[in-house]
Structure 1
Amino acid sequence: MCRIHGQFNTPTRPHELTAASAAQHHGGPDAQTTATGPAWALGSNRLAVMDPHGGTQPYRLGPHITVVFNGEIYNHTDLRTRLRARGHHIPGHCDGSVLPALYAEYGTAFTDHLDGMYAIAVVDTRHEPTLVLAVDDMGMKPLYYQHDPRTGRITFASELPALLAFDQVTARVWEPGLEEYLATKTPFGEQTMFEDIHVMPPASTLIATPTRRPRLIRRTTTPDPVDVPLPDAADDLLTRLRHQVHRLLRADVPVAAVVSGGLDSSLIAALAAEAHPALHTFTIGYQGGPWPGDERHFARKVAHRIGAHHHEVDIDPAAFPDLLPDVVHHLGQPNADPITLSSLALFRHIRDAGFTVALTGDAADELLAGYDRVTHALRTPAHHPWAAGYADALAAVPQTLREELYRADYRAFVRDRGPATQRLARRLATAGGERLHTLTEFETGTRMPAYHLRRVDHMSMAAAVEVRLPYCQPAVQQYARALPAALKVTAQRGKHVLHTAAGGLLPRAVLDRPKQPFTLPVTAMLRPGTPLFAHARDVLSTTRLRQDGRLEPARVQRLFTEQTEQPCDRTALAIWALLVHQLWLDRFLTTPSTDPSTDPSTDPSTDPSTDTGADTGADTGAGGGVVAAGAGRTADQETTG
């Protein structure tokens, strides 16, 4: 597991590689290496998991093929045997060492032979210099890039702060980003919150040469439908999942499991304990409770049932204001899921306890219709509208409230473009085909990589922990996608086949409990008198909001009044989402004001008790107050395949 970065079709100065490496050091503290050519550079930060004393990157095959790699290749032993039979010498036992020979054999189709999670960069100078970037089929290992169409330069990195460390990389706010973020909790698709920076979509390969525009090729897999009775499907799913869990336990460093107390992670831990009797499990809780939604007692039941050494991580909510800037920095762009904060704290404790790898239960809900919004959409009668309600359920801030929060210029901009929720609902409603297929493909191919997997990757690697995801393994996810709706959703619940598969392996209290999101109790923690409430009011001051210019400061301040008088999830999540967005602006895009007259401590409009319901400050326009590094250019790419 590593972090990677580099440039192509441009000279790279040594200090740029040093700066990019430093920005990702947390994710690869064990070694920092580079390789350079006349107009290219590759860098790697290594987190040693397999073959700790070997596996030095960059990997090479002769003088012309150079590779850097982030992730794990689980079938590397089989690949090594096959490639050696073809005459290749592959040094050491590290999984990534097979990649140069695999690329030499199969070219850009080398990814067809990989089973794992990965972001890979190849420079091939055998003929015309060529850059190949590739990411795994689920998008477990993100890779961000910027392409300058004027010069052909491509810069890439595993994390946004590392990408921004390169001198020529431009950073400018993507104007629709605020609406997209508040409508879906993070931007979906290839676009990031930076106008000129994109992220590789799942199952994609980007190919670039000095004389051709980059081609982004999408790889597709459509599993054949599975039509078997429920008991057979449950047995098949459990067999596949058990095999993958046992396989993913193999590492040359200590391995643990995260247990939330819900079905998905508990089943992974139970299967892991079969092959790893001394398994350590971790769950998270919060000091100062009781807090709503505390799942620690369920996690304890699971750990006791499977005989695990169980750890409860209790974090102090008073530390949240200090932890939040770290969360925002490592994410690189806003994500409105409050669990991002808890995730970073949990993974830091896992690392401090001596574990470098952790198995989690992520992706079961997406693959097996576990979310209430999905089951509700499936139960909506035919010829009745369902997509709008589903899209609304994704929002951090409902559309009507978003419109109230926007200033006039930005509200007009959003209306001209079309509100994000409405555009998403139209996309889903007109997709055609079976409704469950539409929802599963959207959940796994669009929402999960952007909202979920990047959060898991960035928060775990910020603590130098590699997360492994058994539900995302091809043998599991393709089988799950192929199952019919009747095996996933019943009148009582979603994930029906998984509940059946887990019978006898978990306590009844866990199997029979209602579904509960694994999240931070943000509504209870955003109350007057709490550190988080005070911090949010300070960050969302009128001064800071005016500097960006897209939000109505008085309406934002009124959210605090509403949360004081009648706390609710809707208002609390809106405050949280705006807090994260403002911290992101402060960290990456906004130049702080130096005018003492705008000190928020002297601004009465930062106090909800003095809210006048109107903002008399000068309107800077839609995003007009944002000052960013560089002039900004829109990346130009050609999509094929």
Structure 2
Amino acid sequence: MCGIFGTTIKYKEADIYDNKLETMRQRGPDFSKHIEINNKLVFGHNRLAIVDLDERSNQPFVYQHISIVFNGEVYNFLELKRELIELGYHFETTSDTEVVCAAYLAYGENCVNHFNGMFAFVIYDPTMEILFGARDRLGKKPFYYYLNDSGFEFASKLSAIEIGNELEIDYESLTRYLYWNYIPEPYSPYKKVHKLPSATCFTYDLNSSVFESRLYWDLPNENNVTYSDFQQAKTDLKGVLQDSVNIRMIADVPLGVFLSGGVDSSLIAAMAQHNSPKPIKTFSVKFSEKGFDESVYAKKVADILGTDHTEIQCSYEEGIDFIKNFSKYYDEPFADSSAIPTLLLSKYTKENVTVALSGDGGDETFLGYNIYDVVQKRKKIYQIPFALRSMIAVVLKYLPGIRFQIIARGLKLKNIREFYLYYFKTLNTKWILKKEHDPKYLSYLNNSKKNLLEAISDFDTKSYMNGDCITKVERGSMAFSLEVRSPLMDYRVLEIARKMPTNFKYGDDGNKKRILKEVLYDYLPKEIFERKKAGFSMPLGIWFKSTLKDFVMETFSNENLKLVEPLIDKREFMKIVEQHMNGQWDHTPRIWKMLVLINWLKRKDYA
């Protein structure tokens, strides 16, 4: 886990490369270096040493005639290394970085198809005078790049590219943020700065300055159901999951597991403990506010498994501090408030371990979100003729109360898939001036070759999992130099799940994550998990009306609201704030996303 940087842009300032690397210091505090290569480019790297702690594996790394900067882990590197040795390649380290280099020389651009991991890397190949780079299948590792007439630059953090470059705010991207709570790839807050999409590789020709990219992996476009026997599917899934956990436990530093007490994290903890000769370290967050603390369930699971468990008390003061300084940790506008407990969990977990396994990814792949129940129940409404629904909507629209307006809007949507996309993703957007363009991954949701739940699963995987869940954990953990690995996001898990009938995952009785739970019950008692699904949240809405009220109102001053004039109707937005403060309606998500945006703009000196 590291921070990478590279540029072909010629800067006059002698210390600018050190300054760029300094912005990524927390991503790799163990070693930092930049080098100039052939007077054509500069590679820089901040290292968080996980595998092969020796300085011989420091980067930028040179293997034969190629150079590399690499962020992340290739989990199957030992297996791949054996294959490459048989092909005649030799190795001087025990790191996966060297294996990536040899794989490139052996397989060319197709090397990415051999990697199972989370990664972003760039290789300089002087024989072809190109840069070749790639990002992992699910986009676990960040990769920003800047392309203009002066050259090409890339980095793990947006702030590194900001230094020394005149960047222009992209208000279209900020509109996307207001709708989705994050800026979806390939966009960034700036024009000419992009995120390399997940599962994408690229080449940049140093002579012609031509940048070309291609998708090297994707979810299947059609139903590819090969399982008819539930028990066989369960057995195969369990085997893939166990291997996914095992290869993610390879590390030369202390390792632990995030344990919330839910299905996903409990399964990962159980499999990790099954693979360990001694008690593994597990960590959970404890909240004092009623309705937000689920640490009791994590403790039950830890006791049964016999783990070395640590409860991290969510300090009220620290939570407030993270809220007020949120833009320090997230380099661009990002509005998932569960990032706050993620930061707290990461901060104190790092005091004990350098690597942590997480249970992220199970809900999207195995249909675990509560919203899937809502969609199933609402399907019948959209069997009512559109004309009749529109008439009902007209009546509801003029009834008092925002609830009727929301219902009216839902009735006027064309079908259930449009309902899922807009009704839940863009609740109450009257205050947003511009309309969001269709998201890049709309084709996954509208795929007529798949049933509703399978299409939603694909859409959520490519959008919400990528833009929200992964970003939240990756940035939050790396803020404290902690590497987080997610076995349920192994691409093999996604692929095997899509070979199963939908009712293996979402039972006919509405049993969400059905097959995943059955695997879990091989390790832990069923009754522990017979409760309603809970999210990873904190009482922001309560704090906005009490302790944080002054902070909220100061942030929404007339002067600060001028920063977002191209984006919002200020009068409509302040109505939302007033409704929240007087208890008429819970507008926590909308207030939070605007707090984040304004404070990000202020931090970037756009005031």
Which residue of 505, 514, 525 maps to 2:532? 514
State the number of aligned residues. Answer: 565
Change in Cα spacing, 1:215 to 1:589, as seen in structure 2 (3 Å) is farther
Give the aligned partner of residue 544 of structure 2: 526
Deviation at 1:231, TM superposition (A): 2.4
Deviation at 1:142, TM superposition (A): 1.2
User: Could you list the per-position Cα deviations for residues 480-537 of structure 1 after superposition, in whole angstroms to 9, with x for gaps in the alignment?
Assistant: 2322211111232321111121114224343211111222232233222x2x333222
| Alignment partner of 1:466 is 2:497 | no
Change in Cα spacing, 1:227 to 1:521, as seen in structure 2 (3 Å) is same
Give the aligned partner of residue 144 of structure 1: 144
Residue pair 1:161, 1:329 contacting (<8 A) in 2 also: no
Which residue of 60, 63, 66 maps to 2:62? 60
| Alignment partner of 1:199 is 2:200 | no
| Alignment partner of 1:402 is 2:429 | yes
1: CA distance, partners of 2:166 / 2:524: 51
| Alignment partner of 1:563 is 2:580 | yes
Which residue of 168, 171, 178 maps to 1:172? 168
Relative to the length of structure 1, the TM-score reads 0.83
Which residue of 474, 483, 487 maps to 1:457? 474
1:296-335 equivalences in 2 (<5 Å): 296-335=295-334
1: CA distance, partners of 2:347 / 2:308: 18
2: CA distance, partners of 1:428 / 1:65: 38
Residue pair 1:375, 1:489 contacting (<8 A) in 2 also: no
Residue pair 1:291, 1:524 contacting (<8 A) in 2 also: no
| Alignment partner of 1:483 is 2:500 | yes
2: CA distance, partners of 1:179 / 1:507: 46
- RCO higher in 1 or 2 (8 Å CA, sep ≥ 6)? 1
Deviation at 1:240, TM superposition (A): 1.4
Matched to 1:49, the amino acid is I
What SS does structure 2 have at the residue aligned with 1:402?
Answer: coil
Residue pair 2:354, 2:481 contacting (<8 A) in 1 also: yes
What SS does structure 2 have at the residue aligned with 1:72?
Answer: strand
Relative to the length of structure 2, the TM-score reads 0.88
Change in Cα spacing, 1:423 to 1:141, as seen in structure 2 (3 Å) is closer
| Alignment partner of 1:575 is 2:591 | yes
Residue pair 2:255, 2:354 contacting (<8 A) in 1 also: yes
Deviation at 1:393, TM superposition (A): 5.3
Deviation at 1:321, TM superposition (A): 3.9
Change in Cα spacing, 1:521 to 1:60, as seen in structure 2 (3 Å) is same
Give the aligned partner of residue 31 of structure 2: 31
Residue pair 1:145, 1:155 contacting (<8 A) in 2 also: yes
Give the aligned partner of residue 102 of structure 2: 101
Residue pair 1:31, 1:46 contacting (<8 A) in 2 also: yes
Change in Cα spacing, 1:556 to 1:567, as seen in structure 2 (3 Å) is same
User: Could you list the per-position Cα deviations for residues 434-486 of structure 1 after superposition, in whole angstroms to 9, with x for gaps in the alignment?
Assistant: 13332222111222111111221111111100001101113222112322211
Matched to 1:308, the amino acid is T
Residue pair 1:67, 1:122 contacting (<8 A) in 2 also: yes
Which residue of 582, 588, 598 maps to 2:604? 588
2: CA distance, partners of 1:212 / 1:424: 26
1:118-517 equivalences in 2 (<5 Å): 118-127=119-128, 129-148=129-148, 150-151=149-150, 153-165=151-163, 167=164, 169-209=165-205, 210-221=207-218, 224-276=224-276, 277-286=278-287, 289-352=288-351, 354-378=352-376, 380-381=379-380, 384=383, 385-392=415-422, 394-395=424-425, 398=427, 401-403=428-430, 405-406=431-432, 411=433, 414=434, 418-420=435-437, 427=443, 430-434=446-450, 435-490=452-507, 491-517=509-535
Residue pair 1:258, 1:281 contacting (<8 A) in 2 also: yes
User: Could you list the per-position Cα deviations for residues 260-281 of structure 1 after superposition, in whole angstroms to 9, with x for gaps in the alignment?
Assistant: 1211111111111112232111
Deviation at 1:372, TM superposition (A): 2.5
Matched to 2:175, the amino acid is E
Change in Cα spacing, 1:450 to 1:221, as seen in structure 2 (3 Å) is closer
Change in Cα spacing, 1:96 to 1:187, as seen in structure 2 (3 Å) is same
Residue pair 2:446, 2:455 contacting (<8 A) in 1 also: no
1: CA distance, partners of 2:553 / 2:525: 43
Q: Which runs of 5+ in 1 are unaligned?
A: 592-641
Identity %: 25
- Over aligned residues, Cα RMSD in angstroms? 2.3
User: Could you list the per-position Cα deviations for residues 154-196 of structure 1 after superposition, in whole angstroms to 9, with x for gaps in the alignment?
Assistant: 111111112212x2x3322211233311211112231112222
1: CA distance, partners of 2:292 / 2:226: 36
Deviation at 1:376, TM superposition (A): 3.5
Matched to 2:234, the amino acid is A
User: Could you list the per-position Cα deviations for residues 202-250 of structure 1 after superposition, in whole angstroms to 9, with x for gaps in the alignment?
Assistant: 1100111031521111012456433232222222212211222122112
Matched to 2:172, the amino acid is P
Which shows bigger deviation, 297-306 or 547-556? 547-556
1: CA distance, partners of 2:534 / 2:423: 15
Give the aligned partner of residue 563 of structure 2: 547
Residue pair 2:441, 2:462 contacting (<8 A) in 1 also: no
Change in Cα spacing, 1:424 to 1:141, as seen in structure 2 (3 Å) is closer
What SS does structure 2 have at the residue aligned with 1:284?
Answer: strand
Residue pair 1:172, 1:589 contacting (<8 A) in 2 also: no
1: CA distance, partners of 2:70 / 2:327: 25
